[in-house]
Amino acid sequence: MAATFRLDIVTPTGTVFGGDVISLIAPGTEVYLGVLAHHAPLVTALKDGKLTIRDASGAETERRITGGFLEVSHNQATILADAVTSR
């Protein structure tokens, strides 16, 4: 079984997602960023684009994000986003 980490996605209207995931791909300002369990600490801005989330069961979902920030620390990732919608 693949290692997991906690992912929380928060917008001004509330929490959009919270749970354990295997991987996250997010649109950084320069390139797309991949995050796996035990990733090095990171804080970065995000641009408009596609979030790809692989949950603990291995199912993959895509969402659209419009700007925000990503913080990764202590096997947890938090996205503070302007808006997130399902694709």
Torsion of CA 16, 43, 34, 1, to 10 degrees: -70
Report the C-alpha gap between 5 and 72 in whole angstroms: 10
Structure tokens belonging to residue 62: 């895509």
pLDDT score of 85? 93
Q: Where are the domains of the chain?
A: 5-86
Q: Look up the pTM and report it.
A: 0.94
- Residue 67 phi/psi, 5° resolution? 70, 165
Per-residue pLDDT tens listing for the chain (87 residues): 689 999 999 999 999 999 999 999 999 999 999 999 999 999 999 999 999 999 999 999 999 999 999 999 999 999 999 999 987
Beta bridge partners of 85: 64
Under CATH, which architecture does the 5-86 domain have? Sandwich (2.60)
pLDDT score of 1? 67
